[in-house]
Amino acid sequence: MEEWGSRRRPLPVLLLWVNGLMTLGFAGARQQTELCNESLMLEKLPACGKFFEEMMKKVDSKKWCNLTEFIMYYDNFTQCTEREANNASCFWPNPLAEGFITGIHKQFFSNCTSEKVHWEDPPDEILITLILIPVMLTCAMITLVVWCSKRSDIL
């Protein structure tokens, strides 16, 4: 009996040890031990913006609102900002990086407002048809159900 009691004591110690290993990242979790160097990140981000600006000069300014014209440049820009934020031990996106990206958006895409769609009713002939078809089908189905329920000898 005493042998059983001595075997149970190491179990809580083992569980605490495993919990400690998992907390330290032994199970694959990566902890960020360095603090974000915001000044380094803010120093490096303008290089990303400068490169994007140079690439956007190749695109006609009338096409700046068409994403397909510059999607590769924009992808390089976002990857650059993410890389520089990570190099400064900062997560991405963060408020400072978002502020920088917003500034780039204001510089290049401030005139890209979406036009509001003006909805109109269809012509009366089409509207009447679209209303009457479901009403007629509903009446036909009700008639069919009532007729079949009165003729239970067929079923």
Q: Which helix (H) or strand (E) holds 12?
A: helix 10-24
Per-residue model confidence (pLDDT) at position 111: 83
Low-confidence ranges of the chain (pLDDT < 70): 1-33, 114, 153-155
Joined together, the tokens standing for residue 44 give 């490096």
Pick the CATH number of 38-109 from 3.40.309.10, 2.60.120.650, 2.60.120.10, 1.10.150.510: 1.10.150.510
Per-residue model confidence (pLDDT) at position 116: 72
Q: Please give the C-alpha separations between residue 144 and each of 62, 117, 130, in angstroms, as whole numbers.
A: 61, 43, 22
